[in-house]
Amino acid sequence: SQTIHQWPATLVQPVGSPLSLECTVEGTSNPNLYWYRQAAGRGLQLLFYSVGIGQISSEVPQNLSASRPQDRQFILSSKKLLLSDSGFYLCAWSDGLAGTGELFFGEGSRLTVL
């Protein structure tokens, strides 16, 4: 069966520090991969998505970046965090061939920038 792992689960970072969140999927091939952010009082905002290795689409211009170095690995990064980067970050995958777009989410990473 397919599983998705996301880490770290929580982190507290100072403003201006770098960030790396990692997500891996097991049990499937060539998944579509997504990074969402959920800030307090706001909805689920799509940040990046990828339909294949090295293919990254950005939805929101900001100081974050994403990379997909392997088929089932998706990394969210920042060189310098801002206070506004605080939030609950969720990685998700879908079967690109299934045509339904059903998303399977990881457990999330809660980031607090101080």
Partner 1 sequence: SQKIEQNSEALNIQEGKTATLTCNYTNYSPAYLQWYRQDPGRGPVFLLLIRENEKEKRKERLKVTFDTTLKQSLFHITASQPADSATYLCALEIGDKIIFGKGTRLHILP
Residue among 16 and 57 whose Cβ is closer to partner 1: 57
**With CB under 8 A, what is the number of residues at the site for partner 1?**
26
**Burial of 60 from C-beta contacts in 10 A (0-12 / 13-18 / 19+):** exposed
CB of 100 to partner 1, least distance (A): 6
71 to 110, contacts with partner 1 by CB under 8 A? 88, 90, 92, 94, 96, 100-108, 110
State yes or no: cis peptide before 18, omega within 30 of 0.
Answer: no
Q: Which of 113, 114, 67 is nearest to 91 (CA)?
A: 67
Question: What are residue 71's phi and psi, to 5 degrees?
Answer: -55, -40
Q: State yes or no: residue 66 binds partner 1 (CB under 8 A).
A: no
Which residues of this protein are in contact with partner 1, per CB under 8 A?
32, 34, 36, 42-44, 46, 49, 51, 57, 59, 88, 90, 92, 94, 96, 100-108, 110
